[in-house]
Homo-oligomer: A and B are copies of this chain.
Amino acid sequence: MTRKIRLGAFLPGGGQHIASWRHPDQPADGATNFEFHKQLALTAERGLFDAYFLADGLATSFGGTSEGGSARIAGFEPVTLFAALAPLTRHLGFIATASTTYEEPYNTARKFASLDLISGGRAGWNVVTTATEAAARNFNLDRQHPHAFRYARAQEHIEVVKALWDSFEDDVFIRDKESGEFFDRTKLHRTNHHGAHFKVEGPLNVPRSPQGHPIVVQAGQSDDGRNLAAATAEVVFTAHQHLHTAQEFYRDIKARAVGHGRDPNHILIMPGVSPFVGRTEEEAREKYERLTSLILEKDGVSLLNGLTGGTLDLTGYDLDGPLPPAPPTEGMKSRQALIRQIADENNFTIRQLYQWVASARGHFTIIGSAVQVADTLQEWFENEGADGFNILPPWLPTGLDDFIDLVVPELQRRGLFRTAYEGRTLRENLGLPFPQNRWAARAAHLAAAE
């Protein structure tokens, strides 16, 4: 089978670009409008996307201490939302973000296994450690845990969740009405985890789900983050401005995965891309300019503050002057560095910087015709920059429709993207292998050794 581009769609109902809610096409209440999210899911499925992806935070952007995109001040908890969208769709995967720092593995394992059951095998878990001070203050803390602590806890959290997902072997259920035997007790297993952060006996009270394990997604960029992704993730979401940094990241993650004894084809690298697509480059540029013109200064400044960890106070600085240095933070280290890099490389003023990152917060923005956008995606895909892309339409629903109506057919013409869903599950569509249950694997190994 020829290698195909994988596509995820980042579709926050409030829009990606911080001014998108002011765009005439976008419902101003999109963030909390269930019918709008349903429309987006159906559209993504029409475009044959692999998955609908939602980020998540555990605090409200409030009081100018975080992103200025105030349309995103409130929304749905993603797993609850995706559970509601699953029965309304047939093929689309659902990748929801959940925190390893502020949830317990038993609860995490349950909700994703339930989503996987409900959707018939279309669930993914985007693992985050939740890097904001505001979130810490919603969970009994005065300050958040250090970066290293969060990553150590994350690694153990994932380990426990995966073990819990294997509690029931796939053929555990007998369900013989005649004899009254419901399940085979030898195929139900305790987890018995005792670690530095968690003690979990198990078993989980949700059976093994259609995908075996829901897809594990990660977006770590720091050294800790890359190690975690290489060890545990099947999809890696990442932000790059240039092919060469994407390639460095791609090769590094694949090499680290091999170091963990993994097949590098079983970990897909999917950079974020924010496309402004027109029938011509000029039309695309007009779309970009239109959204840019809707940004309020205070929202732009607040966005930069949020993206640099909430520590950058721009009060009193000339917006048409350079970006001042920001103090270090325990959260979002790599995002902070990326924003700085964009400013330096382009010699941007504060205003130019927030205008540029307003659409994709550091992800790659492409402005061009369908052919130009497809050219760039193809270049990255064929040169170890990407296995696929997470598309972040700058505004909704039109930004998504543009990509589907203009770019998807171009990619299909080039043989780079599917013309129909191949599999029943997200895992099958992504071309990722079904994880054998650890207990069944052990039993098979012991039987072979006898």
Contact = CB atoms under 8 A, between A and B. Distances in A.
A241 interface: no
Contacts of A188: 60, 62, 73
Interface string A66-90: 0000110111110111011011100
Q: How many copies does the complex hold?
A: 2
A111 interface: yes
B206 A76 contact: yes
A102 B107 contact: yes
A134 to B, nearest CB: 7
Query: How big is the A interface, by class?
Result: 35 or more
Given A73-B205, A75-B206, A107-B102, A140 B80 contact: no
B118 A73 contact: no
Interface in A111-150: 111, 113-115, 117-118, 120, 134, 137-142
Nearest to A99: B107
Given A22-B177, A106-B138, A204-B60, A80 B118 contact: yes
A198 interface: yes
Interface string A14-42: 00000101101000110010100010000
A77 B29 CA distance: 29
A168 interface: yes
Interface in A144-198: 167-168, 173, 175, 177, 180, 182-183, 185, 188, 190, 198
A342 interface: no
Nearest to A21: B182
A22 to B, nearest CB: 5
A138 B141 CA distance: 23
A69 to B, nearest CB: 9
15 contacts: A19-B180, A22-B177, A29-B173, A34-B118, A63-B185, A71-B182, A74-B206, A75-B206, A80-B115, A80-B118, A102-B106, A106-B139, A137-B200, A137-B201, A180-B294
Given A32-B206, A62-B190, 12 more contacts: A28-B177, A29-B175, A32-B207, A58-B106, A62-B188, A73-B205, A76-B118, A77-B114, A80-B114, A106-B138, A107-B107, A140-B199
Interface of A: 19, 21-22, 24, 28-29, 32, 34, 38, 57-60, 62-63, 70-71, 73-77, 79-81, 83-84, 86-88, 102-104, 106-107, 110-111, 113-115, 117-118, 120, 134, 137-142, 167-168, 173, 175, 177, 180, 182-183, 185, 188, 190, 198-207, 294, 296, 299
